[in-house]
């Protein structure tokens, strides 16, 4: 099967609420007063993105903070539904975004491994096979039957990282924030990640480590204010980005 990602005319709108969560009180109040002062402003995180990523490509995404990099990744993973346009995916997809949030605090490490596995599309049988290797790699043998709410931050990150990277998928979507644990673990983790990157058919990744991107990517996109402003080989796009960052810094 040919694996591919097609992004057609995708725009993503965020509604920024000035006070998190409308309350009943506010709604009643604005009903009564009929005032037009809105409690939100709209913000377009992505504007008319068109993109074709085909089998074998390793695509890096760079851009300043707030340019829409993570939003684009989350839209590709279907976590965000675009306001207009559509995303079509052929192949299984593994989202390696911010690590760690997907655990249920009351469940034990072992139970969370299974929960995360089935959510990522594995069968319970497959997860039972993978479980020993996951426990061994994370180095949490002694704590695996303890609820994760008693874990230290490091233990939590290790387990989350190991579970997320244990699932094989055709398409790997990788965010930079995706790493953690102590130095020794980060080193082992990077090795594991590299192996995963080597095996996946398509990679889409966001990073500020330009060297890392240059070493693994075959293509780089530059995002600026929610638009793809440049698309080409890693060398030329990274050079362009550095030049523009310098210019922006000089102008300030």
Partner 1 sequence: MKPSYLAELRAHRYTFLYLVRIYLLLRYQRTALGFLWTLLNPLLTMTVTAVVFSMVLRIEMRAYAIFLLAGSIPWLCFSNTVLQSVGIFINNEGLIKKVYVPKLIFPAALATSALLDSVLSACALLLIVIVLGAQLSVHLLFLPVAFVLLYLFASSVGLLISVATVYFRDLQYVATHLLQLAYFLTPVLYPLDLIPPKFHGLYALNPMVPFVELFRAPIYRNQLPDAAVIASACVIGVATLAVALTVFRRYEDRLVFRL
Q: Which of 8, 55, 57, 98 binds partner 1 (CB under 8 A)?
A: 98
Identify which of residues 21 and 198 has a Cβ nearer to partner 1 in the complex: 21
Compute CA distances 66 → 46, 53, 173, 223, whole Å: 10, 23, 18, 9
Count of residues that bind partner 1 according to CB under 8 A: 33
**Contacts for 5 with CB less than 8 Å, ≥ 6 apart:** 51, 52, 53, 76, 87, 88, 89, 90, 171, 202, 204
Nearest distance in Å: CB 114, partner 1: 7
Least distance between partner 1 and beta carbon 251 (Å): 33
**Binding residue for partner 1, selected from 5, 59, 77, 238, defined by CB under 8 A:** 77
- DSSP E strand boundaries for 107-207: 171-174, 202-206
| Residue from 56, 66, 106, 236 binding partner 1 (CB under 8 A) | 106
178 with 96: CB under 8 angstroms? yes
Q: Is 156 in the site for partner 1 (CB under 8 A)?
A: no
Question: b/e per residue, 130-156, with b = 16+ CB within 10 A?
Answer: bbeebbebbbbeebbeebbeebeeebb
Please identify, among the stretches 14-22, 56-64, 179-187, 204-212, the one whose residues bind partner 1 according to the rule CB under 8 A: 14-22
3 state SS of 38: coil
153 binds partner 1 per the rule CB under 8 A: no
Smallest distance, partner 1 to C-beta of residue 19, A: 11
Applying CB under 8 A, which of residues 67, 114, 196, 223 lies at the interface with partner 1? 114
* Residue from the set 14, 91, 188, 229 that interacts with partner 1 by CB under 8 A: 14
In angstroms, rounded to a whole number, what is the distance separating the alpha carbons of residues 148 and 111?
Answer: 10
Instruction: Name which position in 25, 33, 34, 252 contacts partner 1 (CB under 8 A).
Output: 25
Q: Is 79 in the site for partner 1 (CB under 8 A)?
A: yes
Q: How far apart are CA 200 and CA 245, in angstroms?
A: 32
**Residue 111 touching partner 1 (CB under 8 A):** yes
Three-state secondary-structure class, residue 219: strand
Residue 81 engages partner 1 in binding (rule: CB under 8 A): yes
DSSP H or E stretch at residue 4: strand 4-17
Q: Does 9 bind partner 1 (CB under 8 A)?
A: no
102 binds partner 1 (CB under 8 A): yes
**Closer residue to partner 1 (CB): 162 or 241:** 162
Q: Closest Cα partner for 95 from 120, 67, 63?
A: 120
Alpha carbons 50 and 40: distance in angstroms, whole number: 28
* Contact predicate 175/73, CB 8 Å: yes
Footprint of partner 1 (CB under 8 A): 14-15, 17, 21-25, 27, 74, 77-81, 95, 97-98, 101-104, 106-107, 111, 114-115, 118-120, 122-124
């Amino acid at each position: 099967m040919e694996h591919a990602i097609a992004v057609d005319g995708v725009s993503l709108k965020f509604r920024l609420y000035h006070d998190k969560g409308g309350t009943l009180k506010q709604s009643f109040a604005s009903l009564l007063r009929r005032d037009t002062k809105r409690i939100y402003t709209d913000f377009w995180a992505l504007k008319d993105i068109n993109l074709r990523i085909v089998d074998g490509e390793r695509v890096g995404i760079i851009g300043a903070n707030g340019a829409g990099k993570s939003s684009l990744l989350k839209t590709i993973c279907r976590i965000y539904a675009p306001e207009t346009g559509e995303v079509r995916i052929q192949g299984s997809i593994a989202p390696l975004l911010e690590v760690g949030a997907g655990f249920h605090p009351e469940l034990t490490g072992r139970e969370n491994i299974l929960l995360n596995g089935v959510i990522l599309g594995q069968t319970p049988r497959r997860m039972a096979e993978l479980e020993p290797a996951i426990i061994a790699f994370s180095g949490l043998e002694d704590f695996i039957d303890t609820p994760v709410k008693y874990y230290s931050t490091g233990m939590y990150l290790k387990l989350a990282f190991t579970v997320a990277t244990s699932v094989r998928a055709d398409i790997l979507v990788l965010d930079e924030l995706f790493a953690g644990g102590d130095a020794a673990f980060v080193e082992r983790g990077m090795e594991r990640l590299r192996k995963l990157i080597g095996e996946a058919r398509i990679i889409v990744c966001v990073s500020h480590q330009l060297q890392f991107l240059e070493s693994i990517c075959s293509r780089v996109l530059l995002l600026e204010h929610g638009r793809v402003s440049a698309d080409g080989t890693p060398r030329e796009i990274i050079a362009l980005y550095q030049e523009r960052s310098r210019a922006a810094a000089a102008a300030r």
